[in-house]
Structures are given as structure tokens and as C-alpha cells.
Amino acid sequence: MMKVFKFGGASVKDAASVRNVAQIIQSFKEEHLVVVVSAMGKTTNAFEEVLSLFFNRSEKAFDKLEGIKQFHFQICKELFQNEDDPIFSDLHNTFVEAEWQLEDEPVGTYDFEYDQLIGLGEQLSTKIVAAYLKSVGLNNLWLDARDVIRTDNTYRKASVDWNETERLIQERISKAKENIIISQGFIGSSSENFTTTLGREGSDFSAAIFASTLNAKEITIWKDVEGMLNADPKYYSNTVKLDNISYKEAVELAYFGASVIHPKTIKPLQNKNIPLYVKSFLHPEKEGSLIDQNSDGDANVPSYIHKENQMLISISSKDYAFMDEVKLARIFTLFSSYGLTVNIMQNSAISFSVALDYQKEKIDQFMLELKEEFLVSYNLGATLVTVQHFTEKLLANLLDGKTILMEQKTRSTARFVII
């Protein structure tokens, strides 16, 4: 049966990392593998900077793009001794696509232009990985995810056409003679053949799409940590590995903002009862974490999730009327039209408050439209903290010295917006 691997940007951040990925794949070379790879290192962030400069009509967009180009070519120079290797011309042609986009005026919305440019990061990384694997004797098929993952045209947050995607993936992979398929995370295409993206950090979801449509035996997400931890090591020194949690627990943690797994990853795996392993690409011999139907260990260890760069918005009627369903429907229509996701919400008789990721390119215009109908106040630079399976003692230590702007508790979950 097919196995699916997913390697994130940190696992292919430089030439040494690509060699390490090849060694991991080498140990599974007798298996049928679909290997999904993210953009290298911080390439997605760099392309986002290019796009911002492009929309500001700054010539520096080309300078930033040149930096991305040199980064990838340097990795290739370290991996391939022969600079006449076809990979160099292949990368050059991919960058030409980006240059063409920057030379013209934007032809669509910010989100449309985003998907056409930022999706090139995964194209570049997978071409390099596929070429290097061949150079060390691991024959493989490079598969353009845009040819098989069909979506609607909701740019930056596309929805998958599951029936068509399953048909295309099964048709393409059934014809493959190679045991190893290399494809991209994060991207798909609309019926009009424009590139779409599945949401930031969506490569996990891409791997789950392949696993589900192929009825894979299992899926492994290779990370720079030893498994799924109960907290981000950036904030906590005493983290604990979650050896085995259920699909439900994983969905909750991902929804609250746990960075190890994309929120949409779990559902297609749970539908087919496909186990998900989270393992370290630095220590592939270690067991890692397992996510499956077993819920026995879900409540054994408290989990902490931080979401920084939050904007807390408080909204009320200009005439101090009740914040009823009609007004809430209007507010959520605005959220939807601007592609904004609410991370936590709370209402009183005359006020409705939400916290969301601060995205300047969307927020500024959204706020102008919101203020036409409502009284609005806000805080920037807040942090949303979620504690799953909390105790009051844990919360007291966690919140000591913090200003709490919003608080919610259920039986097992406590959430706070703090500064």
C-alpha cells in the first residue's frame, strides 16, 4: 500500500537538509511513496515580501526576487557538481514566470496575484528535491500538484473538489512506473487552470489529500521536533511529547492554533481511518507521535497554544441597540467578504468582540467599512493563549503579570486574549 510523507520548509532549508531528506527516503525506497514537499526554508515569507513590493509598484520587488533566485541556485550548486545539469535551466524558467508577473500591472485581486506568485516556492523546492534524488539513484516522478488537486477559485483559501481530485490523482499515479512520486504541498488549481493555495501552512493538508484519495496505509509528517509537543518550545522549556492522541484531540489543537499540523489535515484521514505519524527528520529512528482513533491518552497532558499578532476588535451599534442576529449576520458577512477568520468571539447585550490574525492588507479596508455601520474599538499586538485540559494552578502561573482582555472557559479548555 501507498505511504505518504510530507517534508516542511525546515527539512529542505539548505543543501545538507536536502541530502538528509534523500537519506530518509532511501531507507523506504522499496515502498510506494508519495512525497509532498513545502517551499524551502523561509521562501514563502520572501515571496510574500516580493508581492507586497509589487503591489506598491516598487522596483525593489525584482531585487528581492533575485535574492530568492540566488538562494535556490546556491543550494543547487552545492548539490550538483555539473552546472550544465538540467535543473539549472528548469529553475531559471520557473523564475522567468515570476519576472513576467512582476513586469505587468496586477491583473487580479491581491489574493489572486498571491496564489500565482507564492505557489512558485513549492515548484522550486520539489524540482530540486526530485532532481537530487535521481542524481543519487532514487528514480522518481515529479508530479505537478496543480494537475491533480482541483479546487474552486477562492484564492488563498481554496476548497477542494474531492471527486475530481480523487479521479485525477488515482488516474495519474496508477500510470506511474516509479515507486516514488514527488509533489508540492499548499497548491492546487481552479477549473480555469489558475494556481490556487489551500491556506497558509497548507502542505500538511495536501499530504492528507493524497493519502485520502489513494487510501494510503499511513502518512508521516516530518518535523524539526521529535513529535507533536504539548507546547511550542519557543514559549515553554519543559515541553512534553504527546505519544498518542485521537483525531478529535488533534483537530481541536490544530483549530486553536497548534503549529505542528494544519487544521484541515485530520478530517480526510479520520474519514478513512489513516494513522498520522509526526516524526523528527533530525532523528528519524525515534518513534514520534501517533494520531489515530485512540482517545485514551487525550487528557493526560495539558497542551498550550500561543497565537501572536492578534487584533482584538470590539463592535457595538451606534445607537446602543442590542447586538442581535441581524447585526451579527452583517458583521460575519464582512468577515467572509474580506477572507478574515475569527479565532475567538464573545458577545454581550450591546457589544460583540473578536480576535483575529492581523493582516494589514485586509484589515485596513475592512475596518473602514465596519466603522460605517458600527462603533469600533480595537487592540493590536495581543496574544491568544489556549490551554487544553487546564487546572486553575496552571492558569494562575501562566497568567501571572498579564493583562487579560478576554477570557473564556469550558470544562476542558481555557482561552485568553492577553497583552
Q: Distance between CA atoms of 22 and 16, rounded to whole angstroms?
A: 10
**Residuewise pLDDT in 10s, the chain (419 residues):** 899 999 999 999 999 999 999 999 999 989 999 999 999 999 999 999 999 999 988 989 999 999 999 999 999 999 998 888 999 999 999 999 999 999 988 888 999 999 999 999 999 999 999 999 999 999 999 999 999 999 999 999 999 999 999 999 999 999 999 999 999 999 999 999 999 999 877 899 999 999 999 999 999 999 998 899 999 888 888 899 999 999 999 989 988 888 778 878 999 999 999 999 999 999 999 999 999 999 999 999 999 999 999 999 999 999 889 999 999 999 999 999 998 999 999 999 999 999 999 998 889 999 999 999 999 999 999 999 999 999 999 999 999 999 999 999 999 999 999 99
The pLDDT value recorded for residue 155 is: 95
Q: Distance between CA atoms of 197 and 340, rounded to whole angstroms?
A: 16
Q: Is 193 exposed, middle or buried (0-12, 13-18, 19+ CB in 10 A)?
A: exposed
* Half-sphere exposure in the Cβ direction for 347 (13 Å, CA): 13
* DSSP string for 328-359: HHHHHHHHHHTT--EEEEEE-SSEEEEEEE--
**Residue-range domain boundaries for the chain:** 2-223, 303-418
- Show Cβ contacts of residue 7 under 8 Å, excluding neighbours closer than 6 positions: 21, 35, 36, 37, 38, 129, 222, 281
C-alpha Rg value of the chain to the nearest Å: 22
The pLDDT value recorded for residue 100 is: 94
* DSSP string for 15-62: HHHHHHHHHHHHTTTTSEEEEEE--STTHHHHHHHHHHHHHTT-THHH
Indicate the helix (H) or strand (E) that contains 133: helix 120-135
Answer CATH for 2-223 from 3.30.479.30, 3.40.1160.10, 3.40.220.10, 3.40.50.300: 3.40.1160.10
The pLDDT value recorded for residue 393 is: 94
The pLDDT value recorded for residue 198 is: 95
Report whether CATH 3.40.605.10 matches the domain 303-418: no
Record the cell numbers describing residue 412, joined without a space: 476542558
Tens of pLDDT, residues 114-139? 999 999 999 999 999 999 999 999 99
The pLDDT value recorded for residue 330 is: 96
Same fold? 2-223, 303-418: no
Q: Which amino acid is at 190?
A: S
Exposure pattern of 137-148 as b/e (b: 16+ CB <10 Å)? ebebbbbebbeb
Q: Distance between CA atoms of 316 and 310, rounded to whole angstroms?
A: 20
The pLDDT value recorded for residue 61 is: 95
Length of the chain equals: 419
The pLDDT value recorded for residue 303 is: 95
State the angle between helix axes of 86-103 and 110-118 in degrees (0 to 180), rounded to the nearest 10.
Answer: 170
Q: Distance between CA atoms of 23 and 30, rounded to whole angstroms?
A: 13
Which of the 8 DSSP states describes residue 110? H
The pLDDT value recorded for residue 409 is: 96
CB-CB contact of 172 with 148 (8 Å)? yes
Distances in Å between the alpha carbon of 35 and those of 103, 176, 185, 262, 407? Answer: 34, 14, 9, 17, 41
Q: Which amino acid is at 75?
A: I
Q: Which amino acid is at 151?
A: T
Record the cell numbers describing residue 342, joined without a space: 475569527
| The dihedral sign for the CA sequence 13, 19, 24, 29 | positive
The pLDDT value recorded for residue 232 is: 87
| The dihedral sign for the CA sequence 72, 201, 358, 158 | positive
CB-CB contact of 57 with 94 (8 Å)? no
Q: Distance between CA atoms of 416 and 344, rounded to whole angstroms?
A: 9
CB-CB contact of 115 with 51 (8 Å)? no
Q: Distance between CA atoms of 259 and 336, rounded to whole angstroms?
A: 23
